[in-house]
Structure formats: structure tokens, C-alpha cells
């Protein structure tokens, strides 16, 4: 599988709106905590960013989507695609991507 082929697969693994919402929220909080870690030079905030970001995502896969997070098979690709999904959700482009790949 190529990086480009991973995007539709990633979207299919996040087919439920609640899963995507939890991912976006977790990613945003994780990024804010990471920025805080840099600004305040506090490694605890960086650790919290990982716990919040990945914790939210993984919990949504267990309780909402009921599938295995892509992080376990493609960690870097998954992170990049999570950031892309978050950006598209915030800028209004996610619906078009979901439709383009036939995802409800």
C-alpha cells in the first residue's frame, strides 16, 4: 500500500461521525498541549499531549467505531492523516473527501 492509498483506508476506518469528532477534538487538544509544552518548556505537557491525542482516538475506535486503530499498523501515516482529517474538518473540506471516497 502506498501513502496515497492509505488515505481512503484511513477514512473508511473513521466512517462514523462520532469517531471523527472525537479524533478532531483529541488532535486539537493534543496540539494545544504540545504548543504549551514548547512555550513553557514543560515535558509533562508533551506527555499529556500524547495521552490526550492518542487516548481520545483509541477510545473512539474501541467504543464508537469498534475497529483497530490504524496507529498500530502505520503510526506515522496515521498521524499525518489524522492531522489532514482535522484540518479538513476545521476548514469544511472533509465532507467532500468522504463523498469522493464513497464514505457515508
Q: Could you tell me which of 5, 7, 2 has the C-alpha nearest to residue 82?
A: 7
Residue 71: inside a domain: yes
**pLDDT value of position 104:** 81
pLDDT digits (tens, 9 = 90+) for 20-58: 999 999 999 999 999 999 999 999 999 999 999 999 999
Q: pLDDT band at residue 1, thresholds of 50, 70 and 90?
A: confident
DSSP 8-state class, residue 7: H
Residue 72: inside a domain: yes
Rounded Cα distance, 16 and 6, in Å: 18
Residue 2: inside a domain: no
Residue 68: inside a domain: yes
- What total number of domains does the chain contain? 1
Write the burial class of residue 7 (CB in 10 Å: 0-12 exposed, 13-18 middle, 19+ buried). Answer: middle
Against a cut of 0.85, is the pTM above it? yes
Residue 23: inside a domain: yes
Contact criterion met (CB below 8 Å) for 13 and 71:
no
Residue 10: inside a domain: no
Residue 90: inside a domain: yes
* Residue numbers of the domain that contains 36: 15-100
**pLDDT value of position 17:** 97
pLDDT digits (tens, 9 = 90+) for 63-99: 999 999 999 999 999 999 999 999 999 999 999 999 9
Amino acid at each position: 500500500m502506498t501513502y496515497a492509498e492509505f488515505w481512503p483506508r484511513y477514512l473508511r476506518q473513521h466512517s462514523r461521525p462520532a469517531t471523527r469528532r472525537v479524533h478532531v477534538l483529541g488532535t486539537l487538544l493534543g496540539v494545544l498541549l504540545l504548543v504549551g509544552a514548547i512555550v513553557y518548556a514543560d515535558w509533562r505537557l508533551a506527555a499529556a499531549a500524547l495521552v490526550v491525542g492518542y487516548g481520545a482516538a483509541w477510545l473512539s475506535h474501541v467504543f464508537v467505531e469498534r475497529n483497530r486503530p490504524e496507529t498500530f499498523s502505520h503510526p506515522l501515516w496515521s498521524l499525518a492523516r489524522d492531522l489532514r482529517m482535522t484540518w479538513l474538518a476545521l476548514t469544511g473540506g472533509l465532507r467532500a473527501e468522504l463523498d469522493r471516497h464513497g464514505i457515508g
